Amino acid sequence: MKRQKRDKLTRAHAKGYQAGISGRSKELCPFQAAEARSEWLGGWREALTDRNAGLVGR
């Protein structure tokens, strides 16, 4: 069960990162659960930082 939870959170982070790279709003977070939402937003913020630093193309 722990592995399954960790995989869901990793997936949420990755999806948030992808959303941030593509320029989507953080208001479009598809997760309702607090942990998954937090991970998604963390990935989204990380993507914005990477975009602003010029690490990824737009």
Q: What CATH number is given to the structural domain containing 9? A: 1.10.10.620
Higher pLDDT, 35 or 1: 35
In a domain, 58, yes or no: no
Report yes or no: 39 and 9 within 8 Å, Cβ to Cβ: yes
- Domain range for 42: 2-53
**How many structural domains does the chain have?**
1
In a domain, 34, yes or no: yes
| pLDDT tens string 2-57 | 666 668 999 999 999 999 999 999 999 999 999 999 999 999 999 999 998 888 76
In a domain, 10, yes or no: yes
**Is residue 1 predicted with pLDDT exceeding 60?**
no
